[in-house]
């Protein structure tokens, strides 16, 4: 398990280090047996014995996909920063790797305390990345972001401690917490305490107000980390902790959560229409996409969850591609206002093609990764409720409209004096887009191996929770 240390020498060491962890992950994927539902490659030691806290981690199909996502995207993000020179680069890359290890802890933890520590350990580096290397307003915006997420996670901490106090040996072990059988009202409280923490992270309407500001003021690598990986911590938390831990709370409040998610989809899409700044537009589109993921999860059936897993991977890949496009434009032209752009495609055909591929993935064109995920998600929501499915389906249409509008304003039309001298992509930029492009189309055409990885774990989880809910109902 690649729990990483710090890198002292800058970019290259960071890249090599993250590639190493990717290699370890690749080996894990090869050795992984997808048909076993219990966590694999696990370890289990006492951490703080008197308090019942263990250092227990392991991966099942769900975790493995998230680990894969993290360890694939971090090298890509580091590669995407290669043309920048950050002041104090060693600290910058060390923070990225530190954050990566925090996120890996979150995705693999099988102990609630460890999960919480990883959750916070990922937050501190991203705060410093965004606040030290960010753009204007970074101090105010990031303090808001930090306090927002901290408030949510402290509520979760109360819930975690409360749950552990109810277990027989006062244990934080996930199995002990799963085995609890609390009354529905308590589970309702637990549900909300967890839900707020995860909803802030994802973010789900109405907890999203920190997100557009933070995304647009952060340095691009920070935005990529936040949108590509970190928001998946919230989604993963819902699957691994929220619903299995409080199934009755979920049975009672799940509908509210779906409604909030769907409101978020429509609301964010509508705001995305009016954005004049490409980074903010992508930020809102990300809220819409995550709203769909969360709706698919709260529908709680195998299709929805499978869709959520695939869509998490796809969204991570696509959104990093999109932000990279913004970053390249911002870097060369010093603007990210849509009205200042236009006609870039003429001077930079390769760049335009790369952008177009990513865009297609993002608007879920059949044959791309976005389609698989959104299709499964919509199927899941549709099974839950027809009207919810229809409204959630609007996200595809809306997405196509504002994304294509963005593409048109940026790449097509008449060049102005700024865009006339636009240099096409080269070197590391090229490599990043090729990697992303392969995945966009690869997952779109042949998603089966990935889906197979998580299938057994998801089916099991769905059945376990549904049994718990049914036992109470009948």
Binding mask 99-118 for another protein (x = CB under 8 A): -----------------xx-
Instruction: For the CB of residue 131, give the shortest distance to another protein in the complex, in Å.
Output: 6
Site membership for another protein, residue 120 (CB under 8 A): yes
Looking at 138, 201, 208, 280, which residue binds another protein (CB under 8 A)?
138
Stretch that binds another protein, among 121-129, 283-291, 387-395, 435-443 (CB under 8 A): 121-129
Looking at 132, 263, 333, 441, which residue binds another protein (CB under 8 A)?
132
Stretch that binds another protein, among 147-155, 232-240, 301-309, 355-363 (CB under 8 A): 147-155
Q: Identify the CA nearest to 305 among candidates 463, 449, 104, 473.
A: 463
Looking at 28, 74, 95, 131, which residue binds another protein (CB under 8 A)?
131
Cβ atoms of 321 and 358 within 8 Å: the answer is yes
Please report where in the chains the tokens 């870097």 appear, as a residue. Answer: 331
- Helix and strand tally (H, E) in the chain? 20, 2
Strand partners, 277: 337
Looking at 150, 266, 394, 456, which residue binds another protein (CB under 8 A)?
150
Looking at 1, 124, 400, 441, which residue binds another protein (CB under 8 A)?
124
Distance CA 255, CA 269 (A): 21
Pairing type for strands 53-59 and 40-48 reads antiparallel
Site membership for another protein, residue 143 (CB under 8 A): yes
Instruction: Give CA 446 to chain center in angstroms.
Output: 22
The residues near 49 (Cβ < 8 Å, ≥ 6 apart) are: none
Structure tokens at 95: 């923070």
**Total residues at the site for another protein (CB under 8 A)?**
30
Instruction: For the CB of residue 213, give the shortest distance to another protein in the complex, in Å.
Output: 16
Greatest alpha-carbon pair distance for the chain in Å reads 71
Task: Please give the helix or strand (H or E) that residue 44 lies within, else none.
Answer: strand 40-48
Q: Which long-range contacts (CB under 8 A, 24 or more apart) does 85-89 make?
A: 86/133, 86/219, 88/132, 89/10, 89/11
Site membership for another protein, residue 195 (CB under 8 A): no
Site membership for another protein, residue 9 (CB under 8 A): no
Site membership for another protein, residue 6 (CB under 8 A): no
In the complex with another protein, which residue's Cβ is closer, 53 or 272?
Answer: 53
Instruction: For the CB of residue 164, give the shortest distance to another protein in the complex, in Å.
Output: 7
Residue list 49-68, contact with another protein (CB under 8 A)? 49-51
Distance CA 69, CA 311 (A): 11
Looking at 89, 157, 333, 404, which residue binds another protein (CB under 8 A)?
157
Task: Please give the helix or strand (H or E) that residue 177 lies within, else none.
Answer: helix 174-178
Residues near another protein (CB under 8 A) are: 46-51, 116-117, 120-121, 124, 128, 131-132, 138-139, 143, 146-147, 150-151, 154-155, 157-158, 161-162, 164-165, 170
């Amino acid at each position: 398990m690649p729990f990483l240390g710090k890198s002292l020498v800058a970019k290259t060491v960071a890249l090599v280090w993250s590639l190493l962890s990717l290699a370890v992950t690749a080996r894990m994927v090869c050795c992984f047996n997808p048909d076993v539902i219990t966590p694999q490659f696990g370890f289990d030691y006492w951490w703080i014995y008197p308090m019942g806290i263990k250092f227990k981690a392991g991966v099942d199909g769900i975790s493995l996909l998230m680990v894969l996502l993290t360890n694939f995207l971090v090298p890509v993000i580091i590669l995407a920063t290669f043309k920048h020179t950050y002041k104090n680069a060693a600290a910058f890359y060390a923070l990225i790797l530190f954050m990566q290890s925090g996120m890996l802890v979150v995705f693999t933890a099988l102990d609630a305390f460890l999960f919480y520590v990883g959750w916070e350990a990922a937050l501190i580096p991203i705060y410093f990345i965004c606040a030290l290397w960010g753009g204007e307003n970074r101090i105010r915006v990031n303090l808001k972001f930090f306090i927002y997420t901290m408030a949510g996670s402290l509520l979760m901490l109360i819930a975690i401690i409360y749950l552990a106090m109810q277990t027989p040996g006062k244990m934080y072990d996930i199995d002990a917490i799963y085995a609890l059988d609390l009354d529905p009202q308590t589970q309702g409280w637990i549900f909300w305490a967890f839900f707020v923490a995860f909803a802030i992270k994802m973010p789900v309407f109405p907890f999203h107000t920190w997100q557009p500001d933070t995304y647009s003021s952060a340095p691009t690598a920070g935005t990529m980390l936040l949108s590509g990986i970190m928001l998946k911590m919230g989604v993963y938390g819902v699957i691994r902790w929220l619903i299995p831990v409080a199934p009755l709370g979920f049975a009672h409040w799940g509908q509210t959560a779906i409604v909030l998610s769907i409101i978020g989809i429509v609301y964010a899409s509508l705001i995305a229409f009016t954005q004049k700044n490409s980074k903010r537009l992508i930020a809102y589109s990300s809220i819409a996409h995550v709203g769909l993921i969360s709706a698919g999860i709260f529908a709680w059936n195998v299709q929805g969850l499978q869709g959520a897993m695939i869509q998490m991977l796809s969204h991570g890949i696509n959104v990093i591609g999109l932000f990279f496009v913004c970053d390249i434009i911002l870097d060369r032209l010093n603007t990210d206002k849509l009205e200042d752009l236009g006609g870039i495609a003429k001077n930079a055909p390769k760049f335009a093609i790369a952008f177009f591929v990513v865009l297609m993935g993002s608007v879920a064109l059949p044959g791309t990764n976005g389609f698989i995920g959104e299709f499964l998600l919509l199927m899941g929501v549709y099974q839950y409720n027809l009207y919810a499915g229809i409204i959630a389906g609007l996200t595809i249409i809306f997405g196509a409209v504002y994304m294509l509008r963005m593409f048109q304003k940026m790449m097509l039309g008449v060049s102005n004096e700024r865009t006339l001298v636009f240099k096409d992509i080269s070197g590391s930029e090229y490599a990043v887009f090729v990697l992303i492009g392969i995945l966009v189309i690869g997952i779109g055409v042949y998603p089966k191996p990935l889906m197979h990885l998580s299938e057994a774990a998801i089916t099991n989880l769905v059945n376990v929770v549904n049994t718990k809910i049914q036992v109470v109902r009948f």
